[in-house]
Structure 1
Amino acid sequence: MSITPVTDETFASEVVESDLPVVVDIWAAWCGPCKAIAPILDQLAVEYAGRVKIVKVDADANPDTVAAVGVTSIPTLGFYRAGKRVDALIGAHPKPAITAKIEELLA
């Protein structure tokens, strides 16, 4: 399973209306910590395929979504269940920390 790019226009359909729990990565091309966690998210998208959807929102290209979800620092990983953000991680975190949050999302 690959990571789905999400825009201001598709956020509601891809995240809020998703039947699966969703991890939303809000990132930017110039952000070093964002680049550091990208391979981890790629791995997790494969490991949790069919159970969790992982999407990316480019903060520079989608300011409406960034403002609407209250992100003030990137990278921010938002964890959504039934259309509501239930948790978040701000900054770069190691794979075990992200995996633990996904497991909580599935619990």
Structure 2
Amino acid sequence: MDEPDELERIREKKREQLRERAEREQQLSATPDAPIPVQGPAHFEEVLEEYPTVLVDFYADWCGPCQMLAPILDRLAADTAAAVAKVDTDAHQLLAQQHGVRGLPTLVLFVDGEPAERLVGMQDEARLRQVLDTHTD
């Protein structure tokens, strides 16, 4: 292969990498950098409509595992393409009941407004990232 062809191949590869990076940055900038505190059923629906991928944390302030999960969810909200929403099950008992929450914490991943994954109990960050990677581009 001659040198001009090799240089063009390298340039094209670099352009593709830059395009992919720009797309990832655009996805990240389209979602909030912090978890969204859900204010009620109507707000919950708005969040699901606004963002294509939403990881919903059904939690309670008195729940120890929920408190341990909070910093992980903060990091996921800051650096993934998914939005993270938090539903206080004490304040929004009907919402928790409608979504079949029986244990805390319960995490439900919604894709295009529909539940795609459900995780109950404390989850490590690697597992949550794996679930998000499976459902986000």
TM-score (norm 1): 0.92
1:44 aligns with 76
Return the match for 2:45 from 12, 16, 23: 12
1:76 aligns with 106
CA distance in 2, matches of 1:25, 1:39: 12
Q: How does 1:28-107 map to 2 (within 5 A)?
A: 28-48=60-80, 51-106=81-136
The Cα shift of 1:14 comes to: 1.0
CA distance in 2, matches of 1:35, 1:69: 21
The Cα shift of 1:37 comes to: 0.6
The Cα shift of 1:57 comes to: 0.2
2:14 aligns with none
Q: Highest Rg: 1 or 2?
A: 2
Q: Deviations over 1:39-59 (max 9, x none)?
A: 0000111111xx210010000
In terms of fraction of residues, the more strand-rich structure is: 1
CA distance in 2, matches of 1:19, 1:39: 21
In terms of fraction of residues, the more helix-rich structure is: 2
Structure number with the bigger relative contact order (C-alpha 8 A, sep ≥ 6) is 1
> Residue type of the partner of 2:42?
E
Unaligned stretches of 5+ residues in structure 2: 1-32
Runs of 4+ in 1 over 2 A off after TM superposition: none
How many matched pairs?
104
Q: Pairwise CA RMSD of aligned residues?
A: 1.1
TM-score (norm 2): 0.73
Unaligned stretches of 5+ residues in structure 1: none
